Amino acid sequence: MFFASMKDILEDLRKDLNLYASPQKAKALKRFFKTGKGQYGEGDIFLGVQVPDSRKIVRKYANISLDNTLNILRSKIHEERLIALLIMVEKTKGADEGARETLFKKYLENIRYINNWDLVDLSADKIVGSYLFKKTKDILYSLAASENLWERRISVLATFDFIKKGFYEDTLRIAKILLNDRHDLIHKAVGWMLREIGKRCSQEVLEQFLLANYKQMPRTMLRYAIERLPEDLRLQYLNGEK
């Protein structure tokens, strides 16, 4: 697919997005992603395009240049940023080490545009985690200590790649750092990753972490973490009986 310029790409992409846009869905998404004053997604702009439809557009534009992709990532429109990230995810597939390193670095350089939970959740493990799997993880610990909500969420969600490969040590260390985080989106993310450790790696490891920490864990984090445990065991944790 040939495009004469970035302007042409953006115009064509926006035409495609408008085919799927829905003002009614946009209203619902603005509420769902908390775009009101003082909320975590304050001021974000939605067109009302659902993720499956965004993926259709991604398939059409997957081969555009990384520079053009990054320009789209810097858009004020939420769905455009999502599409850019999903294109970056596509570019990681089958990429050599040099290309994966470039994607990783550009992701971090543009991290301020990855500013809602769906953008993080659909990209962090596939771009950041997959690149770091056999490398030093220092950047994840720096992100975990960030004042920025989305950087902290990226730090723990990136480790989902490790969990899927049977490794969980970094997840547990980052979970410990984020144990007393103030935001429920971090509580949910950490609880989700702990649950995945129990599901994919070891229930025993999950329970060891819980026994050491569950009494100080935020309630939402605990509920997410124990979701797949047997009911009687879940109740013991919820009632503080372990």
Q: Which domains does the chain have, with CATH numbers?
A: 1-113 (1.25.10.90), 123-242 (1.25.10.90)
Cβ pair 25, 59 in contact under 8 A: no
Total H helices, total E strands in the chain: 16, 0
What is the Cα–Cα distance from 132 to 59, expressed in whole angstroms?
A: 26
What is the Cα–Cα distance from 229 to 206, expressed in whole angstroms?
A: 10
Using alpha carbons, list the distances in angstroms from residue 164 to 86, 126, 176, 197, 203: 20, 11, 20, 9, 14
CA-based max dimension of the chain: 65
pLDDT at 2: 45
Cβ pair 160, 190 in contact under 8 A: no
Tell me the pLDDT of the chain (242 aa) as tens digits: 444 466 788 889 999 999 999 999 999 999 999 999 999 999 999 999 999 999 999 999 999 999 999 999 999 999 999 999 999 999 999 999 999 999 999 999 999 999 999 999 999 999 999 999 999 999 999 999 999 999 999 999 999 999 999 999 999 999 999 999 999 999 999 999 999 999 999 999 999 999 999 999 999 999 999 999 999 999 999 999 98
pLDDT at 7: 72
Token pair 């997840």 is at which residue? 171
pLDDT at 6: 67
